[in-house]
Chains A and B, each alone.
Chain A
Amino acid sequence: MKFRDKLKSLSGSWYFLGTIILIYILVSIFNQEIYLKSLDFFSQIIYKVIPVFILVFVLMSLTNYFITPKFIMKHLGEKGIKKWFFIVVGGVLSTGPVYMWYPLLADLKNKGLSYGLIACFLYNRSIKIPFLPLMILYFSWQYIGVLLLVMIFMSIVQGISINKLMGVAPLGVSPKGTRSQKQEVKNENSYSIRRKNAR
């Protein structure tokens, strides 16, 4: 591979790191004091986060081992309140980059999953169990506990709001809206029935 091709294959984050290193080189030339103090500060943070990253790595491996997209999708076809519960759990347990989930969610949307449930799933993806040790390192247990509970509650609020804004009735209740809105709810219900029959 040519050097130019190798450069092209690098992600933006490597360019970001390169730029920061370049800034450090410039600072070391123009202001040795700030440079040395920054390195000292940097080493303090690194010393603090390295053990936590090892724990994060172990937890990520365990999550990848036990939770697969297939396992999550299996439970998204539930009905009513139960469906919201599984969406929340699915979102929290899902791994990998968010864009990886868009095609799967689009497919489920075509099969009848409402926009609100998709929004709820995406909101709960922001809760990362493997990253909890690092959160606790910087914040307190109580803070993290309260924050996560409020976020889970708000994910449902967002889901219901999105359903209303997009014209879909929550929990699959027949809407008083347009034909397309009714069709959407009908799709959602028929999807649940199909999933139930398949099981």
Chain B
Amino acid sequence: MQKNSIKEATIKAGKGLWKAFPMILGTILLISLISVSIPKSFYTTVFSKNIFLDSVIGSLVGSISAGSPLTSYIFGGEMLSQGVSLLAVTAFLVSWVTVGMIQLPAESAILGKKFALLRNITAFVLSLIVAIITILILGVII
């Protein structure tokens, strides 16, 4: 196995984090502003405590969002602290990382339109299923 040198590996990691830095910093700033300005009751209005509707809303929001997964964890964690259900947050997290609306043109061009569309549609549907199964399992083991 041909390894990268330690220096190369560290530089690559630094570059990766630096690339995500403005998006993460901007997201934390935005979350701070939203958390302070919008009352918690707003989230409970959007997420209605309906198991299916909540996960659909979470998946939709996650699907149209883009950026590093690090951002989604921070955003998801703060959503949870604002009273949004774990089900909706899970659907949001999974669709954020598995549905790639931003990369869709590149994926279509290189791997084929039919494949790219099918992959993203199934990833969206699976984000709902993953969220429901995860919460059901957690409900049993905790």
| Residue pair B118, A162 in contact (C-beta under 8 Å) | yes
Closest Cβ of chain A to B90, distance in Å, is 7
**A193 — which chain B residues lie within 8 A by C-beta?**
none
| Residue pair A126, B4 in contact (C-beta under 8 Å) | no
- Name which of B13, B69, B123, B142 has the most chain A CB atoms within 10 A of its CB: B13
Residue of B nearest to A118 (CB): B111
| Residue pair B90, A64 in contact (C-beta under 8 Å) | no
| Residue pair B26, A57 in contact (C-beta under 8 Å) | no
**Stretch binding the partner chain, chosen from A32-40, A76-84, A170-178:** A32-40
Chain A's interface size range is 35 or more
Residue of A nearest to B100 (CB): A98
Bound CA span A20–B26, Å: 6
Bound CA span A162–B1, Å: 32
**A3 — which chain B residues lie within 8 A by C-beta?**
none
Check B23 for interface membership: any CB of A closer than 8 A: yes
**A109 — which chain B residues lie within 8 A by C-beta?**
111
**B3 — which chain A residues lie within 8 A by C-beta?**
65-66, 68
Check A115 for interface membership: any CB of B closer than 8 A: yes
From B23, B78, B130, give the contact of A154 (CB < 8 A): B130
Check A105 for interface membership: any CB of B closer than 8 A: yes
Interface residues of A (CB under 8 A from B): 11, 13-14, 16-17, 19-21, 23-24, 27, 34, 37-39, 41-42, 45-46, 49, 53, 56-57, 60-66, 68, 70-71, 74, 95-96, 98-99, 102-103, 105-106, 109, 115, 118-119, 122-123, 126, 128, 131, 134-135, 137-139, 142-143, 146-147, 150-151, 154, 157-158, 161-162, 165-166
- Name which of B3, B31, B36, B110 has the most chain A CB atoms within 10 A of its CB: B36
Check B103 for interface membership: any CB of A closer than 8 A: yes
Q: Known contacts A17-B23, A24-B29, A118-B115; is A102 also within 8 Å of B107 by CB?
A: yes
**B112 — which chain A residues lie within 8 A by C-beta?**
115
**B23 — which chain A residues lie within 8 A by C-beta?**
13, 16-17
From A106, A126, A146, give the contact of B97 (CB < 8 A): A126
Interface CB pairs A-B, < 8 A, 21 = A14-B22, A34-B37, A37-B36, A45-B28, A46-B28, A57-B17, A60-B12, A64-B4, A68-B1, A68-B2, A106-B110, A109-B111, A126-B98, A128-B69, A131-B73, A138-B73, A138-B76, A139-B77, A143-B86, A146-B138, A150-B137
From B76, B100, B111, give the contact of A105 (CB < 8 A): B111
**A24 — which chain B residues lie within 8 A by C-beta?**
29, 33
**A14 — which chain B residues lie within 8 A by C-beta?**
22
From A11, A42, A126, A134, give the contact of B70 (CB < 8 A): A134
Check B48 for interface membership: any CB of A closer than 8 A: no
